[in-house]
Amino acid sequence: GQQLNQSPQSMFIQEGEDVSMNCTSSSIFNTWLWYKQDPGEGPVLLIALYKAGELTSNGRLTAQFGITRKDSFLNISASIPSDVGIYFCAGLNNDMRFGAGTRLTVKP
Amino acid sequence: NAGVTQTPKFQVLKTGQSMTLQCAQDMNHEYMSWYRQDPGMGLRLIHYSVGAGITDQGEVPNGYNVSRSTTEDFPLRLLSAAPSQTSVYFCASRGGEAGYTFGSGTRLTVV
């Protein structure tokens, strides 16, 4: 099946620090996406990547689509308290599959 | 523009009961999907649809049925609820290359 392995499972960082998380798969995906989920809400799209090697930024967030199309990473620079939440990677072909998530805690 | 609307927001069922979770989108999106999310886990795909009249199974389809008679609606049916189906259910839709837009979820408890 199309399994996505996301790491780390959780992170505890100080406000102002940078964060990096990644996702790997044994399957090739046409599109990689990163979502954030706040408690009691549905996931919200942060960044979508459409081409192998693509590097895309959205404010303090930067994500890359791996050359092999089997991996992606997300970086958050200069973290702030509102970055707290669960971050999910997702791979999209005809359907979309999710990683298990990275739970981010930011200490003021 | 409401986006993706799920009803109900909360539901408690007894084992063996059936029910339908409703999902509607007003963005004329072709693709729609149903996911379940259990504590500490990511979202697992139940069923998805690439257009009206077309549905397919995802990772965990057993115990669930779907239909897609219109572009706007994609209901999820639980035929005979089991405690293992206690979860948060999310419906999502997308059009073209863009990522999926999610509803706010239905929290289902089966006792």
Report the chain B residue with the minimal C-alpha distance to residue A87: B42
pLDDT exceeds cutoff 60 at A1: no
Amino acid (1-letter code) at residue B30: E
- Which residue reads 């509607």 in tokens? B24
Q: What is the pLDDT of residue A2?
A: 62
> What residues 75-104 of chain B have any CB closer than 8 A to a CB of chain A?
90, 92, 97-104
Given its phi and psi angles, is residue A25 left (phi above 0), alpha (psi -120 to 50 degrees) or beta?
Answer: beta
Which stretches does DSSP call E strand in B1-111? 4-7, 10-13, 19-25, 31-37, 43-51, 54-57, 64-66, 76-78, 87-94, 101-102, 106-110
B15-20 mean pLDDT: 97
CB contact at 8 A, B101 and B91: no
A85-105 mean pLDDT: 94
Contact A45/B at CB under 8 A: yes
B4-32 mean pLDDT: 96
pLDDT exceeds cutoff 80 at B70: yes
Among A15-24, A53-62, B66-75, B98-107, where is mean pLDDT lowest?
B98-107
pLDDT band at residue A46, thresholds of 50, 70 and 90?
A: very high
A49 SS3 class: strand
Q: What is the pLDDT of residue B1?
A: 61
Report the chain B residue with the minimal C-alpha distance to residue A40: B104
Q: Is there a contact between A95 and B33 if contact means CB atoms under 8 Å apart? A: yes
pLDDT exceeds cutoff 60 at B5: yes
CB contact at 8 A, B80 and B63: yes
- Which residue reads 């139940």 in tokens? B46
